[in-house]
Structure 1
């Protein structure tokens, strides 16, 4: 599947308030854009902004950008860009941010990894974003030519490649049409939603983010996704802005570090899969919904957002970190499939399960039965697949998966064996649809070739590595390298020394809380 480019840095953002109904669009305005208007810095782009409710510019892949640039150079029909401007303020993009950004990416040689993007992200650009940008540049430069090569050809047209020579005669006259929304800011915002619902529909996730953009859940989602980098929706909170950024950055690292590389060749896996994945925003929004982050109240000073971030971080500390409260839940057992596929439903359900254990004061019960609990989860991939398939959507599978984990723990607490728990599952009314001998292929159309696929490589590594992975000496659950504590076998207060013979590897929670 083609990977999308992140071009959000090329057009800035600004608040688009609607309370002043007297702010009217004023003309006359430009009617077209030529290639020189796309240069950054430049007079046009310096005054251009996306409204704060505009979706992120990350829906196009390299092929779509290449086709748009080719259409521009060939004089093909390109839908008009729709803008709105009031008084002496910025010019806002109502429709066409991707079209503008695509041509600006070509003109400025910035496909999400250039000078403009690096400044926007303070040089903290995800590795995946850099790779996608480099591939896009190679494709477009090969099939169309770089913008700089067109400019250089002006000095020696006879020596320029034929495909560039053929376009130079009309290069200076190519233009994109502009349309302007007349009326106040309320009409401009209404125009945005009408246009985007009819042409390129806004996803449910984007709608939720837009509706809650001034509420803690929306502010947290955007901050966490970019690790506090990029456009600071929280910058208006002067006193809290820096701490919000720092908290979001730490949460991003807890979820997405280290970077996921496939095929999998390490057990040091991130909780949340790839940060640059297309479903990352919806996954984070589902996480915040699961944790009941405030989605009702506007945050006027940043305190609600900051407190929500601290609560989120506290939960993630509990899931997997080096914090003293950490259970150290191993992603390879609880979140990833046997072939190394990240399961977003498992991610959110395990977060919910951790919250359940904390709220119901069952952390010690879980620790006592953890070894068998992990055996069941690891051997229940066919059950998890059936639960997710019945729910049809990842976010709707969170509750039934949570119910499954609670059923397993309750059964272990009743001293049922692993075999009894799995055999009895279909007798539970909530899981009567489970077929115990069901076998599901990840891709029924997949044909086995002579080379090993990424899935096969990941599966053989995980299967082998998990057999020899270290285990906690207290609960006998699997240890993840991000969540290991060195425990005194004989406690210091009981005379234990710091010798290697008195040291053992444990989970932080097992060492600091359960043991004591």
Structure 2
């Protein structure tokens, strides 16, 4: 699947729900490229509605093709705008304007404007796509500055470039204006986006519930508290708490980034930072972990948060649960994501993660310290089962209704912890399937050789299998460790028993094993 170009910094967002005021409607008739140049008064007024999808739907090829179409005088759909007392809002055409400004500024998600917008938090994937886009645009079209330098220079440059340069100042984009109130403009947006390229289900969910606390929290976490501040209307103290918690959760869930094909066991707990995938995960994850009870709090059942306190509470609870899964806090289990949440071919499975998170969340909210002790004693068996049955777990999920997948994985983890706490042998797979209510026989048609050469999937599968054989394990529970993410340094002989602080008396363990279970 082609990666998409992140252009969200090119046009700022603003709250669309402005109070209606009386103002004189003076509408511009067209939209020349000069309106996107630095210092343009129109650019300073230009805004995307706060409910509009993130500007990250185009591939490098689509962006390059659009710029070429603009310069070659091909037909381009009209922009649709709406004028408020303060701003000009883009109802339709945000990608077109963002692509042109990206070309003018040479910023395809990795330039100065994007760097400031995201406070330096730009993912490796976003940078890679930006570099690929820049190279493609320069090959197919040329830099904006290069074409601009040809304007008025009839004896310079090749013929096609001179023709394109002449259109920089003469070709405008056509405009249509929405007449009426903010409500009319918002209705127009949803009608327009039900045609052509429709909104993704997750995008529409976030847009329609944009003032619900889980939606705000999810957007904050994905960008580590940077980008457009959907929480900008809250008091400064609240904004600071949101940004601090979001940044911490982002680091725990999405760092380090995984670049496929996987050649490391250092993989993120939350999988890809691709906006649609990550938002889908975060909406579920925050509904589970951010709920005040052990029952998930779905986004569509929430009330709007106008002051930000609900957002802060959700992020705080989510951080409490997350810090029990990973990180260096005293209660951290330090679970290894490659063991628990990735299949044998290195693909992330969010339902395994969400099922496990549901189990941990319930234990944290019910102050069930006994569960963590049982988990520690059962841990090595649980992990052996997960590694041995990665492919089968994937098949189980494929044969499970989407709405039941999290619940089924919750049952799986609870069963495995209880089983290995009481028994030491590996349970027969049919016993596990019976317990989590999976019926029928599943046929595995995977891993069919297609030729003499090794595919990337086969290479990843071998890498993960061989790497786990030599991976570090905790000497207390015999569970796998990811020391770059979660580690505690333990005295083999306790200090109170005369143990010294030298390397001979030191061992690396899970934080909870050292400070909770051992104590």
Q: TM-score range by the shorter chain?
A: over 0.9
| Cross-structure match for 1:439 | 444
Q: CA deviation at 1:15?
A: 0.9
Q: CA deviation at 1:396?
A: 4.8
| Cross-structure match for 2:346 | 340
Q: CA deviation at 1:8?
A: 0.6
The more displaced of 369-378 and 275-284 is 275-284
Among 57, 78, 81, the alignment partner of 1:83 is 81
For residues 228-377 of structure 1, what are the structure 2 equivalents within 5 Å? 228-237=225-234, 238-276=236-274, 278-293=276-291, 295=299, 296-358=302-364, 359=366, 360=368, 361-377=370-386
| Cross-structure match for 1:378 | 387
The CA distance in 2 between the partners of 1:448 and 1:204, in whole Å, is 38
Cα distance change of structure 1 residues 26 and 100 upon mapping to structure 2, 3 Å threshold: farther
The CA distance in 1 between the partners of 2:171 and 2:249, in whole Å, is 46
Among 204, 209, 217, the alignment partner of 1:207 is 204
The CA distance in 1 between the partners of 2:462 and 2:39, in whole Å, is 51
Structure 1 counterpart SS, 2:199: coil
Q: CA deviation at 1:309?
A: 1.0
Kept after mapping to 2: 8 A contact 1:80/1:96: yes
- The count of corresponding residues between Structure 1 and Structure 2 is 506
Q: CA deviation at 1:434?
A: 4.9
Q: Does 1:388 align with 2:385?
A: no
| Cross-structure match for 2:107 | 110
Runs of 5+ consecutive residues of structure 1 not aligned to the other structure: none
Among 494, 497, 503, the alignment partner of 2:497 is 494
The CA distance in 1 between the partners of 2:134 and 2:452, in whole Å, is 31
| Cross-structure match for 2:472 | 470
Cα distance change of structure 1 residues 39 and 259 upon mapping to structure 2, 3 Å threshold: same
Structure 2 counterpart SS, 1:94: strand
Q: Does 1:411 align with 2:419?
A: yes
Among 400, 405, 410, the alignment partner of 2:408 is 400
Query: Cα RMSD (Å) of the superposition?
Result: 2.2
Q: CA deviation at 1:211?
A: 2.6
The CA distance in 2 between the partners of 1:90 and 1:427, in whole Å, is 60
Q: Does 1:515 align with 2:512?
A: no
The CA distance in 2 between the partners of 1:505 and 1:498, in whole Å, is 13
Q: CA deviation at 1:302?
A: 2.1
Per-residue displacement from partner, 1:400-432 (whole Å, max 9, x unpaired)? 1222222222333442620x3424234447112
Per-residue displacement from partner, 1:352-394 (whole Å, max 9, x unpaired)? 232244445411111111111111111112321122212364x
The CA distance in 2 between the partners of 1:396 and 1:77, in whole Å, is 47
| Cross-structure match for 1:130 | 127
The more displaced of 157-166 and 67-76 is 157-166
| Cross-structure match for 1:12 | 12
Q: CA deviation at 1:26?
A: 4.6
For residues 30-179 of structure 1, what are the structure 2 equivalents within 5 Å? 30-87=28-85, 89-154=86-151, 156-179=153-176
The CA distance in 2 between the partners of 1:232 and 1:434, in whole Å, is 49
Per-residue displacement from partner, 1:315-348 (whole Å, max 9, x unpaired)? 1111111111111110110011222222222222
The more displaced of 239-248 and 268-277 is 268-277
Kept after mapping to 2: 8 A contact 1:49/1:90: yes
The CA distance in 2 between the partners of 1:385 and 1:130, in whole Å, is 32
The CA distance in 2 between the partners of 1:449 and 1:372, in whole Å, is 36
Q: Does 1:503 align with 2:503?
A: no
Cα distance change of structure 1 residues 231 and 303 upon mapping to structure 2, 3 Å threshold: same
Kept after mapping to 1: 8 A contact 2:81/2:90: yes
Structure 1 counterpart SS, 2:475: coil
Kept after mapping to 2: 8 A contact 1:338/1:462: yes
TM-score, normalised via structure 1 length: 0.92
Runs of 5+ consecutive residues of structure 2 not aligned to the other structure: 292-296
Kept after mapping to 2: 8 A contact 1:291/1:312: yes
The CA distance in 2 between the partners of 1:441 and 1:392, in whole Å, is 21
| Cross-structure match for 1:223 | 220
